[in-house]
Structure 1
Amino acid sequence: MTASAATARTAPAARPAHRDGNVLRWLTAYTASLLGDSVYFVALGFAAAKAAPPAQVGLVMAAGAVPRAVLMLGGGVIADRFGPRLVVIGSDTVRCALILAAAGTLALASPGLWLLVAVALAFGVVDALFMPAVGALPPRITTPDQLARLQGLRALTVRLGTVVGPPAGGLAMGLGGAAAAFGVAGLLFATSVPLLLSTRIAPQPAVERAPAARELRDGLRYVRRHRLVGPLVLSGALCELGLVGPLNVGMVLLADERGWGAAGYGWIIAAFGAGAAAGALLLAVRGRIRRAGAVQIGTLLAGAAAVGSIGVARSLAAAAALALLAGLVCGVCGGLAAALIQTATAPAYLGRVTSVMSLTGFGLAPLAYPLFATATGAVGPSPVFLASAAVAALGGAFTLLLPAVRTAELP
């Protein structure tokens, strides 16, 4: 790293991230893009349901996940080679054009299931480029001492997207059908592009070009050998693999087994979301947290224990209270982990490191869904919740033994 680059990464921020107009422009663009994602998935699902039986609907919804998982690591290489700014703006522009074209086609004709599959596949390819690049942007729009605060703001934005996006997509579907919903998603992507263009982003450091396969191997080797980044990425992977089943499948099965119904499921998920939003808000307001590595490990272990305890709760009130606690500590844990990783990662590797993290969350973790559901059907939700929580807790247990993680600090 050059002296000027090192200075740029260690200089104190002129103002807190939540008061920085440049950061707020990026967050607004990111919010519009996330809302576009949510509306798109609602539109895709309902359009598929109108054109095909349930089994084929599932295939349409899963179609985009295949290229996203296969190409995600390559997307990290591209982000590091050409710079995340160019890749994010380009991919958001392509997503806008793709979804608006689909909206126009649906408005003029009824092309059938093939169009939806083609759109899902193309969207998955673009997502594989977009996700590593957008994840690599925070260190380039603020300074290291503001990264934890920015990660908190970003997490709040994600919560907003999950709360507002699906109802907006449903409303658009109800008023104008699939064409209108796709149109709304496309316009949201279009809103994010000029905001991204006006955001000041630190330039990509000059790196020696190499064949893509070699750059990918170098990135994986960098993650594996780094004393802080490698363990935190592995810890995050174990956490995702352990908690994704209980949070995304287990709550439904638990509510059904306990007789709490859809309303009870809604209360549990809402409590977790409220807790996660509170944790993100804490990071956004607090900014730097002392002994960040130790706090990250502690919140990971506490979050795993809380999620596991939901599976043995006998009352809806107890399950909702545990979900609130789990969301709170997991919100802090995730933000701190991302800030620590991005602070420690050399700028030239940010895209590839982010792609490895994204691959775990969006490519590998969903593979736990059928395993979790099958195990729950065989032995009931309580032991499976506890076993899954134990897998997640391993992510904190082994990092507890590593001084590089345990003593890590944010700038």
Structure 2
Amino acid sequence: MLWLIGILVSLVGNAIFYFALGWAASEYGGSIAGLTLSAITLPRVLLLLVGGAVSDRISARRVLITGDAAMLIFSLILAAAAYSGAPPLLLIATGVAVGVVDAFYLPASGSMPRRLVAKAQLPRALSLRQVGGQVINMGGGPLAGVLVGLAGFAGAAVVNAVTFAFTLVVLTAVRPQHEVPPAPRTSGLLKEAMSGVMVAFSHPVLRPGLWLTGAAAGFLLPVLSLLVPLLAREEEWSAGAAGLVFGAQGVGMVAVTLVVVKRGPLGRPGLMAASALVLAGVGVLALGLSPSATGAIVAGLIIGVGNGTFSAHIAPLVLASSPDTHLSRIQAVLVLVESLALLLMNNVLGALVDLEGATVILVVCAVMLVGVGLAGLASSPLRNDRTGLEHR
């Protein structure tokens, strides 16, 4: 629980800081804003596999402590440098620094629940983190807006430093209960990094689980962030109506994850995850064909239930199925699959909307989600896997 509190405090700091970074960059126009955000994404994608290998080699906890200490120092230096203003070069350099640290931090952080709780408790533990993350996402934007308005980018950097300091104290106090020995150094770091990819895509359960994750990142996540605003403008709905669709999706997600927190997984994790993609696809189809904003809100709720069910079952499945020697490396592959799919499909779907309209593209996304979900159900190793159910 102490580790969860530390992670949630860190997420609050990230929400405020990312908003502040984007807001400061937007002052210089779209090109600088896009370049700043890309400066985070590019090093993260390039170094993720190496970050996972380092974490498996020297321990996830040490990587997290090092990352928090580095970001604490960097945030304080940044606050001082940005006190009198934040020029574009400083913002881009900040993006690069954040992306590099993320590449090592995210795989280590993703593997920590497996090191802290038993496999049977993973669904509840990950669902608790997801609920907290959803609440922070809903409230982080308004809080960040107020803070940046009062204290500017430098103030946001100070707050970010405080959250990193708190998380650093938590990580120093927390001791893993199910720690695994570091992976043997059998080859060079790059070979160890690629070993994570080979293990992930040769495993009978991890392979289809990663394909489902990529499909969700490519065809489900852009629905809310990209396609709902475009659909709202196409149908001449108000910004408030579009916001209610977002809210309904969040309610659906939180409701499902709270159920999982209370009673554990709803069934076989692979079966539930694949079925959830089918349900989410039905919700996306209803959204695309909705004749009114009211119908879109109901569709948003269905999407949220599907998305929440998927997330609450696929994350513990992947983590529990990972070999002890490759915990962080498999998490690196997972984040990489999500990042690449989202990066690619945000651009592809946005361009297709300009050609065909949001309604047509939503229908395409729905068909793809249903198709991938059915393919997942056809995978016997995924469908029949009972990871996390042994002690129920």
The normalised TM-score by structure 1 is 0.90
Partner of 2:195 in structure 1? 218
For 1:8-407, list aligned pairs within 5 A.
24-50=1-27, 52-107=28-83, 109-110=84-85, 112-201=87-176, 202-209=178-185, 210-407=187-384
Deviation at 1:236, TM superposition (A): 1.1
| Secondary structure at the counterpart of residue 136 of structure 1 | helix
Deviation at 1:111, TM superposition (A): 5.4
**Which amino acid in structure 2 is aligned with residue 350 of structure 1?**
L
What is the rounded CA distance, in whole Å, between the counterparts of 1:368 and 1:288 in structure 2? Answer: 30
**Which amino acid in structure 1 is aligned with residue 350 of structure 2?**
A
Contact 1:48 1:116 (C-alpha < 8 Å) held by counterparts: yes
What percentage of aligned pairs have identical amino acids? 27
What is the rounded CA distance, in whole Å, between the counterparts of 2:295 and 2:86 in structure 1? Answer: 49
What is the rounded CA distance, in whole Å, between the counterparts of 1:382 and 1:111 in structure 2? Answer: 40
What is the rounded CA distance, in whole Å, between the counterparts of 2:155 and 2:92 in structure 1? Answer: 18
Q: Relative to structure 2, which stretch is displaced further, 117-126 or 198-207?
A: 198-207
Deviation at 1:60, TM superposition (A): 1.6
Q: Relative to structure 2, which stretch is displaced further, 326-335 or 53-62?
A: 53-62
What is the rounded CA distance, in whole Å, between the counterparts of 1:119 and 1:364 in structure 2? Answer: 24
Q: 1:286-313, CA deviations, whole angstroms, 9 ceiling, x for partnerless residues?
A: 1133333322221121112212321111
| Secondary structure at the counterpart of residue 289 of structure 2 | coil
Deviation at 1:276, TM superposition (A): 1.0
Q: 1:221-258, CA deviations, whole angstroms, 9 ceiling, x for partnerless residues?
A: 11121111111111211221111332221011011111
Contact 1:236 1:395 (C-alpha < 8 Å) held by counterparts: no
Tell me the C-alpha RMSD between the 2 structures: 1.5
What is the rounded CA distance, in whole Å, between the counterparts of 1:369 and 1:243 in structure 2? Answer: 11
Contact 2:281 2:366 (C-alpha < 8 Å) held by counterparts: yes
Inter-CA distance 53–218: structure 2 relative to 1 (3 Å threshold): closer
Q: 1:7-59, CA deviations, whole angstroms, 9 ceiling, x for partnerless residues?
A: xxxxxxxxxxxxxxxxx111101101111111111111222233x12322222
What is the rounded CA distance, in whole Å, between the counterparts of 1:194 and 1:300 in structure 2? Answer: 39
Contact 1:372 1:384 (C-alpha < 8 Å) held by counterparts: yes
Inter-CA distance 300–104: structure 2 relative to 1 (3 Å threshold): same
Inter-CA distance 216–174: structure 2 relative to 1 (3 Å threshold): same
What is the rounded CA distance, in whole Å, between the counterparts of 1:375 and 1:269 in structure 2? Answer: 22
What is the rounded CA distance, in whole Å, between the counterparts of 1:100 and 1:129 in structure 2? Answer: 21
What is the rounded CA distance, in whole Å, between the counterparts of 2:77 and 2:86 in structure 1? Answer: 13
Deviation at 1:78, TM superposition (A): 1.2
What is the rounded CA distance, in whole Å, between the counterparts of 2:237 and 2:139 in structure 1? Answer: 25
What is the rounded CA distance, in whole Å, between the counterparts of 2:128 and 2:338 in structure 1? Answer: 20
Contact 2:125 2:261 (C-alpha < 8 Å) held by counterparts: yes
Partner of 1:9 in structure 2? none
What is the rounded CA distance, in whole Å, between the counterparts of 2:41 and 2:264 in structure 1? Answer: 34
What is the rounded CA distance, in whole Å, between the counterparts of 2:141 and 2:160 in structure 1? Answer: 11
Contact 2:210 2:337 (C-alpha < 8 Å) held by counterparts: no
Contact 2:215 2:341 (C-alpha < 8 Å) held by counterparts: no
Regions of 4+ moved over 6 Å: none
What is the rounded CA distance, in whole Å, between the counterparts of 1:188 and 1:207 in structure 2? Answer: 31
| Secondary structure at the counterpart of residue 220 of structure 2 | helix
Inter-CA distance 395–104: structure 2 relative to 1 (3 Å threshold): same
What is the rounded CA distance, in whole Å, between the counterparts of 1:222 and 1:290 in structure 2? Answer: 26
| Secondary structure at the counterpart of residue 208 of structure 1 | coil
Q: 1:336-385, CA deviations, whole angstroms, 9 ceiling, x for partnerless residues?
A: 11111211211111111111110122233122112111211211112211
Partner of 1:14 in structure 2? none
**Which amino acid in structure 2 is aligned with residue 29 of structure 1?**
G
What is the rounded CA distance, in whole Å, between the counterparts of 2:106 and 2:382 in structure 1? Answer: 26
Q: Relative to structure 2, which stretch is displaced further, 116-125 or 285-294?
A: 285-294
Inter-CA distance 325–90: structure 2 relative to 1 (3 Å threshold): same
| Secondary structure at the counterpart of residue 207 of structure 1 | coil
Deviation at 1:395, TM superposition (A): 2.8
* Structure 1 residues without counterparts, runs of 5 or longer: 1-23
Inter-CA distance 295–364: structure 2 relative to 1 (3 Å threshold): closer
Contact 1:77 1:352 (C-alpha < 8 Å) held by counterparts: yes
Contact 1:172 1:184 (C-alpha < 8 Å) held by counterparts: no
